[in-house]
Amino acid sequence: MNRRWRMLGERLSQVIPVIVLATIIVFGLLQLVPGDPAMTLAGEQATDERIAEIRHLYGFDKPFLVQYGTWLGHAAQGDLSRSLLSGERVVTLIGQSFPHTLTIVVLALLISLLVGVPLGILAAMRAHTRADTAISALSSVGVAIPNFWLAMILVTYFALGLGWLPATGATPLGESVVGSLRHAILPALALAAGGIAELTRQLRSALLEVLSSQYMRTLRAKGLSETAMICKHGLKNVGVNLLTVIGLLFNRLLGATVVVEAVFAIPGMGSLIVRAAINKDFPVVQGVVLSMVLVVVATNLLIDMLYSVLDPRVK
């Protein structure tokens, strides 16, 4: 246990430079935008005095490093400034949007696992048979389908056509669990198609490799059934691969929500950042990107920790 804590400390110290680098990039985004942000903020008819005033107000007249330092100092205390549009605290906006995004991402991940893992096992157990061929054809389709297109198909049939589920919007989880899930299920399905395909393929090839290993022969020689071999030894041995795939998948789903949220008009992080970017609402853009970076870093950290639980050889 002690070793595990020490490892966590080590990993955290490796993560900090990553976060610092990410914040520099995020903050630098502001400088990369063509034109003068102050001019943009002040509006087209603003006077030079007004622009200068805004420049001073936001600290744009200070050197880059000073601006960055101020921003980082505030961010470290949980203050991500306010939206230029609504004047609301960025932290509040993120707090409202993030649960919606997290709900569909987690749901999509769960669906991917629930469908992808059994399919992957089946494909590996029946490798080179018709079932296997059918599964791999299906996963090729899953990878190839653009998720916004799938999202539109799902809306057309299940929401507009059959009317089983709502077409747009979202309900916070805290308000109504059922309502929240009803809103989240179609976007999650749209996102999960790629995840299912990815998991199936990765699991199949990892399992096939494990199945051809010498210890599988030992297990068979002691009289274990194929089911025990695959579901107990196979899965635990591919656990590390699976975890890696899940980590990557989670990060990718977070990114992919931008498009799907737009289709379903969900007020999540994707919608938030799109709206902010169009309106040059820099504090919001910075805040969203920063929080996404933190989520990704935290996910990776968690997965690194889980490696050592699954594989005794990882120290």
Partner 1 sequence: MASDTSKQQGRPGPEMGHRPPLLSVRELGVALQTRGGNLQLTQNISFEVGAGERVGIVGESGCGKTVTGLALLRLLPARSMQVSGKILLDGTDLLRLPGRQMRAIRGRQVAMIFQEPMSALDPVFTIGQQIGEAIRAHFPVGAREARERAVDVLDRVGIPLPQRRHDEYPHQLSGGMRQRAMIAIALACQPRLLIADEPTTALDVTIQAQIIELLVKLSSEAGTALLFITHDLGVVAETCERVLTMYAGQVVEDAPVEDVLVRPRHPYTSALMRSLPNLSVPKSVLPSIPGRVPNALAMPAGCRFAPRCAHARPACGRAQDALPVGADHRVRCARFDELELPGTAA
What are the residues binding partner 1 (CB under 8 A)? 128, 213-215, 217-225, 228, 232-233, 236-237, 239, 310-313
Q: Which is nearer to partner 1, 20 or 231 (CB)?
A: 231
Q: Which is nearer to partner 1, 161 or 223 (CB)?
A: 223
Q: Which is nearer to partner 1, 219 or 263 (CB)?
A: 219
Residue 272: how many other CB atoms lie within 10 Å? 26
Q: Would you call 82 helix, strand, or coil by DSSP?
A: strand
Residue 231 in tokens: 């579901």
Q: Which is nearer to partner 1, 35 or 312 (CB)?
A: 312
Cα separation, 117 vs 125, whole angstroms: 12
Q: Would you call 46 helix, strand, or coil by DSSP?
A: coil
DSSP E strand stretches across the chain: none
The least CB distance from residue 97 to partner 1, in Å, is 40
Q: Which is nearer to partner 1, 45 or 313 (CB)?
A: 313
Residue 176: how many other CB atoms lie within 10 Å? 12
The least CB distance from residue 123 to partner 1, in Å, is 15
The least CB distance from residue 216 to partner 1, in Å, is 8
Contact 111, 192 (CB under 8 A): yes
Q: Which is nearer to partner 1, 262 or 303 (CB)?
A: 303
Cα separation, 161 vs 233, whole angstroms: 45
The least CB distance from residue 293 to partner 1, in Å, is 32
The least CB distance from residue 275 to partner 1, in Å, is 47
Cα separation, 143 vs 217, whole angstroms: 34
The least CB distance from residue 223 to partner 1, in Å, is 4
Contact 20, 28 (CB under 8 A): no
The least CB distance from residue 9 to partner 1, in Å, is 24
Contact 290, 23 (CB under 8 A): yes
Contact 135, 200 (CB under 8 A): yes
Q: How would you classify residue 78: left for phi > 0, otherwise alpha for psi between -120 and 50, otherwise beta?
A: left
**Closest to 158 in 3D by CA, of 146, 169, 150:** 150
The least CB distance from residue 214 to partner 1, in Å, is 4
Q: How many CA atoms lie within 13 A of 68 on its CB side?
A: 15
Instruction: Please tell me what DSSP assigns to residue 58.
Output: T
Q: Which is nearer to partner 1, 279 or 308 (CB)?
A: 308
Q: Which is nearer to partner 1, 77 or 212 (CB)?
A: 212
Residue in the block written with tokens 């605290």: 89
